[in-house]
Chain A
Amino acid sequence: QLQLEESGPGLVKPSETLSLTCTVSGGSIGSTRYFWGWIRQPPGKGLEWIATIYYSGSTYYNPSLKSRVTISVDTSRNQFSLKLSSVTAADTAVYYCASQTYSYDRSGFQQPKGYFQQWGQGTLVTVS
């Protein structure tokens, strides 16, 4: 069974860049079976999808964050990463990484199914 674990600084200064890594075990990040996503949850609030990536590098972003977000994958380390630039207090949240399954579009290409199957335990990032 897949296991995911987030890592990165718990405290980031305003205007700086938040950087997190998700390490995958129990499976290969290069597998064609999965897409990989980031979701966040401000304290006491709901969930927000941030971005998704495939091992090939195909990326999908939430338009509300796209201008500040970069998601990347490192197949040699079985990791994928998130960078969020120009952070403010509003970016304070628990950040989760998760796996996603796929479907085929009309052209026969794999596309992520947008729900999240396996989740990491989450990591709290405070902007202050």
Chain B
Amino acid sequence: EIVLTQSPGTLSLSPGERATLSCRASQSVTSSYLAWYQQKPGQAPRLLIDGASSRATGIPDRFSGSGSGTDFTLTISRLEPEDFAVYYCQQYGSSPWTFGQGTKVEVK
């Protein structure tokens, strides 16, 4: 089973700042099959990125994903008030599909 480790656990930033979230896999993720989700309190996760860098339908272009192998990054270029949330990465290259433990982006 591939273990995903996200860092940092919490990111304290101000609106307008750039957020860089990391996701590291315990082994190489096949074909860059990595997704990112955003989850707000009391809500279901929302798909942001699949295939490491493809934005899902309706996702603003301030969200971008990059990486391959074992190291992946989600970047939010300029934080909007609605972007403060918890972000999860997920690998789907190998079964069982697994999630990281999450990074919370909070208002500084």
Contacts and interface: CB of A to CB of B under 8 A. Distances in A.
Interface size class of B (residues with CB under 8 A): 20 to 34
Contacts, number: 53
Given A46-B88, A46-B101, A47-B88, A117 B47 contact: yes
If over half of A's interface residues share one DSSP class (helix, strand or loop), that class is named, otherwise mixed; here it is loop
A121 B44 CA distance: 5
Interface string B13-48: 000000000000000000001010100000111110
B90 A120 contact: no
If over half of B's interface residues share one DSSP class (helix, strand or loop), that class is named, otherwise mixed; here it is loop
Given A46-B88, A46-B101, A47-B90, A116 B45 contact: yes
B51 to A, nearest CB: 9
Interface of B: 33, 35, 37, 43-47, 50, 56, 88, 90-93, 95-102
Interface of A: 46-49, 60, 62-64, 96, 113-117, 119-122
